[in-house]
């Protein structure tokens, strides 16, 4: 599985370490809450709301340099809109991967 990284954030910041840290801090605050809401909506079988949660989360997936994972998130979001949960396990593995990474920052 590909590993999260800060390449996108570093490129976007132009070397501004304060900006980089602010963005990382925002992700560290928002990601756990968005992940929690995702799991709650999934458990309640609210596929439309769950798709919206995946939509929000996929932006963080992209910011953390996970190109293949972003593709999985896009496909999973489309599945949820159609009421299907294929790719659920793959998407949740991505969430676990990001959680571990953010815990180390």
- What six digits make up the tokens of 18? 């304060």
Question: Rounded to whole angstroms, how far apart are CA atoms 68 and 64?
Answer: 11
Domain residues of the chain, as ranges?
Answer: 7-104
Measured distance CA(28)–CA(105) in Å, rounded: 9
Longest Cα–Cα distance of the chain, Å, equals 43
Q: Per DSSP, which regions of the chain are E strands?
A: none
Reported as a single tens digit per residue, the pLDDT across 4-62 is 999 999 999 999 999 999 999 999 999 999 999 999 999 999 999 999 999 999 999 99
Tens of pLDDT along 54-104?
999 999 999 999 999 999 999 999 999 999 999 999 999 999 999 999 999
Residue 39 is predicted with a pLDDT of 98
């Amino acid at each position: 599985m590909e590993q999260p990284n800060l390449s996108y954030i570093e490129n976007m910041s132009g070397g501004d370490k304060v900006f980089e840290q602010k963005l990382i801090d925002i992700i560290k605050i928002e990601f756990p809450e968005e992940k929690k809401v995702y799991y709650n909506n999934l458990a309640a079988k609210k596929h439309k709301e769950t798709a919206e949660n995946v939509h929000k989360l996929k932006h963080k997936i992209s910011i953390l340099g996970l190109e293949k994972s972003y593709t999985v998130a896009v496909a999973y979001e489309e599945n949820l809109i159609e009421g299907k949960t294929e790719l659920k396990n793959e998407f949740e593995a991505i969430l676990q991967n990001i959680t571990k990474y953010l815990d180390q920052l």
